[in-house]
């Protein structure tokens, strides 16, 4: 798998590293300076079909689905193996994706943490029994769904993969992973760790690099894929749901957001200001699904709040993620840079640009895709930059008068992924939290996610839940085994007439 100098990654199918049948290799370049980081094979739908076949055979012919001890042990070992590689994998994540090294380190550690959590649950894939009457009972057992295609975006390649992979494996499924073509490298290194595990039968985990429109779509359409676990853009999620309809497969969709960060006048001011900046995920150039990209600030503190937020945003150090002290890395590529700058132009027509709003090209920055942290003030609720996910270092600030208006504005987009409320009044915090239609609401903090607590989208931010027990049940089917006891002395007193007898 490893060529001299620059590495070349391959697909991993049926326990073997092999080249895909795509014509050209992919060249993955560092978004901070354009340097070649590694190469990767590229695939066609033919490779996707081979991976599905390998997964299906392994699922049907190994004892993986029944062997919860092997699943638990394998996942514990995988978590340890990942922890042992935090440093070099974090460097690779930063080089392929641009984010500051500290963020990449956190990503690897969180990935390991999720795997460890689901290792503990692998032996607890339980259902329940129901006593239906004197002579009848139901065993409700959970079984794996079968073959799961896991399709991942580029912004958090490893933690978004492990968040789906760990519960899918813990529940006993076989998987085909399709990473984003922009960031397959750290994932390939991680797949090698799985290959090293004696507990995981070959073919249970497969990895295919290729375009979403062909390789990804093939996985979604394939009749032998039983479920698609997709993380990515909302419009892609809609396409996936349409494509999955033909074979009526299960889908889990983790999509985009435009999360409101609601700051009341009685909040701890310093914390709320830091929360506005970190919530907007400026550290990863705003390329985070739960980013609090809309700050809703109460009118009475607006001026003072803006003074402080602007000063902080202006001071943020932008540069290559590997450089010490850098707080904001580049965006992923030129296409994303142009997309974000188009939104900045739209924003200039809709609201007041108060910080940034330009590409940074001085010195070494000119080699990469750097955008200055950008703040727009007085953004109208229906403005494009208040409605659409920009996925760049751009903060839109809106104002509100009171609690009611705050909740109304918070809910005024098609998204419902996350939100935050900053106030020292716990009653107000909980009232607003209950009114906001999103899968996650933080109170006096932003962005905290835990493997043992569910997250996911309301509205057009998705279907299904990640993390926690619900995140495990996503990857299971419930089966009802019904038992009628033969006991002539005790006739059933169940008064509900049976159907189908
Ligand atoms: P994307 O939708 O373009 O791509 C995501 C993945 O889907 C990639 O692997 C891509 O190759 C594949 N894909 C694309 N078209 C496909 C198709 N027709 N069929 C099958 N697969 C296809 O998203 P992106 O630009 O890589 O990532 C950014 C988006 O992801 C943002 O919208 C962000 O909010 C979202 N996101 C959501 C979460 C969450 O948890 N809700 C987390 C991270 C990112």
Q: Look up 254 and say whether it is catalytic.
A: yes
Atom from ligand 1 closest to the CA of residue 234: 32
Write down the pLDDT at residue 495. Answer: 62
Q: Look up 289 and say whether it is catalytic.
A: yes
Q: Are 476 and 125 in contact (CB under 8 A)?
A: yes
Write down the pLDDT at residue 1. Answer: 47
Average pLDDT of span 86-100: 98
The verdict on pTM exceeding 0.95 is yes
Atom from ligand 1 closest to the CA of residue 220: 20
Average pLDDT of span 137-156: 98
Predicted confidence (pLDDT) per residue in 207-246, tens digit: 999 999 999 999 999 999 999 999 999 999 999 999 999 9
Write down the pLDDT at residue 281. Answer: 82
Q: For 479, phi and psi rounded to 5 degrees?
A: -115, 135
Write down the pLDDT at residue 489. Answer: 73
Query: Which one of the listed residues 96, 107, 199, 254 is annotated catalytic?
Result: 254
Going by alpha carbons, the residue nearest to atom 13 of ligand 1 is 212
Predicted confidence (pLDDT) per residue in 307-326, tens digit: 999 999 999 999 999 999 99
Task: State in Å: Cα 212 to ligand 1 middle.
Answer: 9
Which pLDDT band holds residue 2 (cuts at 50, 70, 90)?
Answer: very low
Tell me the average pLDDT of the chain.
Answer: 96
Rounded to whole angstroms, how far apart are CA atoms 40 and 28?
A: 8
Please indicate whether residue 458, judged by its CB atom, sits closer than 6 Å to ligand 1.
Answer: no
Rounded to whole angstroms, how far apart are CA atoms 466 and 146?
A: 18
Which residue in 149, 174, 185, 151 sits closest to 41, CA to CA?
A: 185
Rounded to whole angstroms, how far apart are CA atoms 203 and 208?
A: 12
Atom from ligand 1 closest to the CA of residue 180: 9
């Amino acid at each position: 798998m490893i060529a001299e100098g620059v590495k070349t990654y391959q697909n991993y199918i049926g326990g073997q590293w092999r080249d895909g049948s795509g014509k050209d290799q992919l060249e993955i370049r560092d978004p901070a300076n354009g340097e070649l980081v590694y190469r990767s094979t590229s695939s066609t739908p033919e490779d996707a079909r081979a991976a599905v076949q390998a997964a299906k055979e392994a699922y049907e012919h190994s004892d993986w689905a029944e062997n919860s001890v092997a699943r638990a042990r394998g996942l514990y070992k995988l978590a340890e193996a990942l922890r042992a590689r935090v440093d070099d994998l974090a460097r690779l994540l930063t080089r392929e994706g641009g984010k500051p090294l500290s963020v990449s380190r956190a990503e690897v550690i969180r990935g390991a943490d999720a795997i460890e959590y689901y290792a503990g649950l692998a032996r607890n894939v339980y259902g329940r029994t129901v006593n239906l009457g004197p002579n009848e009972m139901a065993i409700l057992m959970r079984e794996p769904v079968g073959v799961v295609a896991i399709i991942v975006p580029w912004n958090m390649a490893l933690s978004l993969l492990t968040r789906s992979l760990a519960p899918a494996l813990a529940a006993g499924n076989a998987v085909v992973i399709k990473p984003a073509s922009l960031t397959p490298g750290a994932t390939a290194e991680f797949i090698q760790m799985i290959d090293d595990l004696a507990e995981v039968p070959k073919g249970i985990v497969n990895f295919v690099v290729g375009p979403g429109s062909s390789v990804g779509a093939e996985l979604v359409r394939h009749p032998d894929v039983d479920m698609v676990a997709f993380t990515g853009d909302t419009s892609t999620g809609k396409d996936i749901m349409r494509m999955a309809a033909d074979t009526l497969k299960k889908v889990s969709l983790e999509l985009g957001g435009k999360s409101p960060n609601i700051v009341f006048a009685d909040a701890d001011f310093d914390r709320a200001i830091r929360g506005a900046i970190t919530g907007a995920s400026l550290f990863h150039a705003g390329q985070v699904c739960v980013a609090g990209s809309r700050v809703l600030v109460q009118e009475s503190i607006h001026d003072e709040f803006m003074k402080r937020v602007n000063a902080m945003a202006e001071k943020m150090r932008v540069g290559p993620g590997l450089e010490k002290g850098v707080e904001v890395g580049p965006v992923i590529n030129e296409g994303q840079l142009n997309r974000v700058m188009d939104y900045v132009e739209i924003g200039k027509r809709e609201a007041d640009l108060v910080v940034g709003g330009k590409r940074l090209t001085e010195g070494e920055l000119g080699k990469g895709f750097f955008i200055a942290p950008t703040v727009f003030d007085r953004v109208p609720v229906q403005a494009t930059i208040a409605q659409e996910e920009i996925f760049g270092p751009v903060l839109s600030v809106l104002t509100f008068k009171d609690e009611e208006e705050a909740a109304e504005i918070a809910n005024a987009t098609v998204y419902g992924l996350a939100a935050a409320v900053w106030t020292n009044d716990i009653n107000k915090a909980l009232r607003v939290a209950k009114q906001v239609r999103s899968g996650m609401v933080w109170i006096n903090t932003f962005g905290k996610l835990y493997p043992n607590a569910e997250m996911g989208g309301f509205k057009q931010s998705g279907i299904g839940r990640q993390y926690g027990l619900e995140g495990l049940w996503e990857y299971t089917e419930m089966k009802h085994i019904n038992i009628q006891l033969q006991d002539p002395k005790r006739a059933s007193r169940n008064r509900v007439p049976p159907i189908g007898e």
